[in-house]
Structure 1
Amino acid sequence: MSEETGFNQKLKYSNDKLAKKIRRNVGKAIDDYNMIEDGDVVMAAISGGKDSFAMLDILLSLKKSAPIHFDVIAVNLDQKQPGFPEHVLPNYLESKNIPYYIIDKDTYSVVKAKIDEGKTTCGLCSRLRRGSLYSFAESIGATKIALGHHMDDMVETTFLNMFYGAKLKSMPPKLLSDDKRNIVIRPMAYCREKDIVRFAELNEYPIIPCNLCGSQENLQRQNIKAMLTDWDKKTPGRIENLFKSFQNISPSQMADKQLFDFDTLTIDRSAPKKEYKFNSEEISSTNIDDSLVIQIANI
């Protein structure tokens, strides 16, 4: 076997291993949160970025082997950004024989008119896009809306809300819309961005950059991303642990009075006392005599 052949075999093995890892993580997230059920019509929101391309690929792969039947429809919202290559997504989706819709809505003009130059456009852009997708999902009978957010996105969003919004909230893997008319799922919730980057490069997706917000410098999210990237380099596994903490919340150990009733906490010493660890303490000094201790205990 030649050196080149050996290298190609190792590369293929590495690529296959990565694809299986991402597929396994997506499958586990779908199973853990019951994201997709028999008969579902999943509307995969495709932005033209690496995350949504990868999500669409994996969903279509799982559709072939899943023990249930579900359909996947790709939907792109053309927000009329200047220079947006309108032909790229239709050409790609048709070449793969993937059912799709391209819907047009000039949210770009709305955002530019309402947001001052230099200010972050992401919030308004996201709300306008979400409303359009919700409405269209219902019109085509989609029962789930799949978004390409991954683990890094969810951790970043948590810190964004903490640092800049004074709220402890994130992007949930599965979400019922406020009007209860749509369910949003994030099948990539267990996937790391660095794996998706490699996966997208291997698959040579025709990535379309976002000229509206992607080109903005010094956004709050970019600052958070830089912080988390540094953490990840210094302490591998920290991002995964942060995400796992979202799945392991103890309301009584936080401070939200809406989630836990702190007002009515009461002592109950009616049951036999259990032995505490390290309870063999000895009093070395006090100015309270035994009679006062007995008096307090009998109150």
Structure 2
Amino acid sequence: MRELSRKEKTEFNKLQKRLRRNVGNAIVDYNMIEDGDRVMVCLSGGKDSYGMLDVLMNLQQSAPVKFELVAVNLDQKQPGFPEEVLPAYLEQLGIPYYILEKDTYSIVREVVPEGKTTCGLCSRLRRGSLYGFAQDIGANKIALGHHRDDIVETLFLNMFFQGSLKAMPPKLLSDDGKNVVIRPLAYCKEKDLAAYADYKAFPIIPCNLCGSQENLQRQQVKQMLSDWERQYPGRTETIFGAIRNVAPSQLADRELFDFASLRAEVDSDLHLPGIRVVNL
């Protein structure tokens, strides 16, 4: 952690408490971590996953339940990836960890045409590798570093480009029913995590595969939300609140609400005074 001035220490303490409170509340609200859990914390080398691991390690010391943390990084064999950074950092922390090596980079480059977005295929390959590895090491929970802004951005991405009303749930059962995915940062703002990473001087590893791509749909949505936030502060928080306050009867999904069976209740004994029926 870098040297802080007196004022910076005060601000850092407030920020750290806020992040820990937000993560703790999310864990409780969605029952993310239970007694005896073995949680696989997925580390990408980015600010969000570093922050997630840091906060979870702190909560582990004070939580009313006992749980294990295991850090896992997926080395996707991207050219120039600094393989020594994460092991050195994790050794310093003293946390159990694994580096899983899978050359998904070559697969993505071979399958995705030049100039096309690689994020979709890359994330699917990464997710599949991590899901399988969690079972190999006996982890019953998989912690991902998606924060509140990621969740809101995904909501708009699905609405604008997929025609579906869905985001990233704080807790998810995988399609095969074998893994429970949790997002402890669901209540955390991206700007808070960025500031925390700066204070803590995490050894950030940039993504050379997707991070350098321009005009990504997610970047466009992020810019849109950023513009809204500047014009109407608090809008992102309000949108996230909407995700937690869904009224199926006010939408149009026939699977979520039985519109076909809706009938008005009519009282057959009702007589309206002063009305006379005239036959013409």
| CA deviation map 1:82-135 (0-9, x unaligned) | 000000000110011121000100000111111011111111101000000000
How many angstroms apart in 1 are the aligned matches of 2:89 and 2:213? 27
How many angstroms apart in 1 are the aligned matches of 2:90 and 2:247? 44
Amino acid at match of 2:35: D
Amino acid at match of 2:152: V
For 2:147, the equivalent position in structure 1 comes to 150
Please tell me whether residue 239 in structure 1 is matched to residue 209 in structure 2.
no
Greater length-normalized contact order (CA 8 Å, ≥ 6 residues apart): 2
Please tell me whether residue 249 in structure 1 is matched to residue 246 in structure 2.
yes
Any residues of structure 2 matched to 1:276-287 within 5 Å, and which?
A: none
Any residues of structure 2 matched to 1:266-285 within 5 Å, and which?
A: 266-270=263-267
- The verdict on how the C-alpha distance between 1:272 and 1:78 changes in structure 2, with shifts beyond 3 A counting, is farther
Alpha-carbon distance, 1:233 to partner:
1.0
Percent identity over the alignment is 62
- The verdict on how the C-alpha distance between 1:199 and 1:271 changes in structure 2, with shifts beyond 3 A counting, is farther
Amino acid at match of 1:160: L
Q: Which runs of 5+ in 2 are unaligned?
A: none
2:184 alignment partner, SS class: coil
Alpha-carbon distance, 1:269 to partner:
3.1
For 1:72, the equivalent position in structure 2 comes to 69
2:5 alignment partner, SS class: helix
For 2:201, the equivalent position in structure 1 comes to 204
Please tell me whether residue 100 in structure 1 is matched to residue 97 in structure 2.
yes
How many angstroms apart in 2 are the aligned matches of 1:256 and 1:272? 35
Alpha-carbon distance, 1:236 to partner:
1.1
Q: TM (normalized to structure 1)? A: 0.89
Amino acid at match of 2:89: Y
How many angstroms apart in 1 are the aligned matches of 2:123 and 2:69? 22
State the aligned residue count.
Answer: 273
Amino acid at match of 1:256: D
Amino acid at match of 2:190: E
Alpha-carbon distance, 1:264 to partner:
1.3
1:169 counterpart (161, 166, 169): 166
Amino acid at match of 2:228: W
| CA deviation map 1:189-243 (0-9, x unaligned) | 0000000000000000000000110000000000000000111111111111101
| CA deviation map 1:140-175 (0-9, x unaligned) | 000100000000000000000000000000000000
Amino acid at match of 1:156: E
Q: TM (normalized to structure 2)? A: 0.95
For 1:263, the equivalent position in structure 2 comes to 260
How many angstroms apart in 1 are the aligned matches of 2:267 and 2:204? 66
1:36 alignment partner, SS class: coil
Indicate the RMSD between aligned Cα atoms, in angstroms.
1.7
How many angstroms apart in 1 are the aligned matches of 2:16 and 2:186? 16
For 1:121, the equivalent position in structure 2 comes to 118
How many angstroms apart in 1 are the aligned matches of 2:96 and 2:267? 66
Alpha-carbon distance, 1:9 to partner:
2.1
2:19 counterpart (22, 38, 52): 22
For 1:55, the equivalent position in structure 2 comes to 52
Please tell me whether residue 179 in structure 1 is matched to residue 170 in structure 2.
no
Amino acid at match of 2:20: R
How many angstroms apart in 2 are the aligned matches of 1:139 and 1:9? 46
Alpha-carbon distance, 1:291 to partner:
3.6
For 1:34, the equivalent position in structure 2 comes to 31
How many angstroms apart in 1 are the aligned matches of 2:39 and 2:108? 28
| CA deviation map 1:21-76 (0-9, x unaligned) | 00000000000000000000000000000000000000000000001100100000
How many angstroms apart in 2 are the aligned matches of 1:103 and 1:12? 36
